[in-house]
Amino acid sequence: MNPFRSRPLFFTGLIIYGLLLTAALLYFRFPAKKFKTFCQTQVEQLLPDTRCSISKIRYKFPFAMEIIDIDLSSNQENEQNLLTVDRAIIRPKVTAPKSQFQVELAACDGKHDFSLLLKQKKKEARFENIHLTNLDLAKIPFLRQTFGREITGLLSGSGTYRTSWNDDLVEGKGKGKISMVDGSFKLLLPILSLQKIDLKKFNADLVFQKEKLQFNKGRFQGRELTGNFSGGLALRSPIEQSKFSFKGTLEPLPPLLKKNRYAKNLLIQMKKRHNRSTLPFLLQGSVKRPSFKFDS
């Protein structure tokens, strides 16, 4: 079905709107510097404790803005780099150009998009239909600097997020699903003689509320281990002080059992005592000081 035929006045209006906006911007000269400052301020309000730097903003025909090189960093003394967005395209909704937007991002070698509903007077923002596609975790310096180890993988996901702010108080809640392929992360302490875990795939459900990130139905499949888990991360500032607790089970695979007699003996014991072929575990502590143990 041709959408123009079904709604000719609407689409004709869009074309006229785009032409008029283009003409107005060309006539009055698009105030890129002022708008760039405005955007930087808005981002810093939505993401407290951050500093935003934008390289360039330009108008994109017929009714969109293109933003080049957005750098987010912490506003602490060390100004730690958090994330770099190569390009963002923002399209305001014609019926609500000041409050509703469609956003497309190119960041960390992936393509991402979401809808944004902004209520400035109520100091609320709602992110709907969030889609992350193949975000390369190795391209996020913040992860490596925070966890003190190399973390790789291609992350995808979907979900929603709502946030409100009042003076220094910021609250948010959201939910979604994430998945990752071709990932790996180094371990601070060896687990079953492994110095790092290589992941073929990983997936979990997420719920965020009251500064706590809850992981449900977590499942991962690696080259030497598979497992499932659930638990939560209570966010603190700085993030290295965040507390977490996860529990689940690990299943060593034949490649690991062949070279690790300890893992093989553990499985034999679990089979005799509890008639199971998986190893229960408990992971808890803080991001800076995690602890791991096999549970009964």
Report the alpha-carbon distance of residue 167 to residue 105 in Å, rounded.
Answer: 29
Domain 18-107 has CATH 3.30.70: no
How far from chain centre, in Å, is Cα 264? 37
Residues 6+ apart with CB under 8 A from 15: 62
Half-sphere exposure of 253 (CA within 13 A, CB side): 13
State in Å, rounded, how far the first CA of the chain is from the last one.
61
Pair of tokens at residue 220: 């991962």
pLDDT by residue, tens only, the chain of 296 residues: 444 444 555 555 555 555 555 555 544 455 667 667 777 777 776 666 778 888 888 877 777 888 899 888 877 666 777 888 999 888 888 787 778 889 999 999 999 999 988 887 778 889 999 999 999 999 988 788 778 788 999 999 999 999 887 766 677 899 999 999 999 988 877 888 888 889 999 999 999 998 899 999 999 999 999 999 999 999 887 788 889 999 999 999 988 888 888 888 888 887 777 777 788 999 999 988 889 888 76
Query: Angle at Cα 142 formed by Cα 225 and Cα 286, nearest 5°?
Result: 60
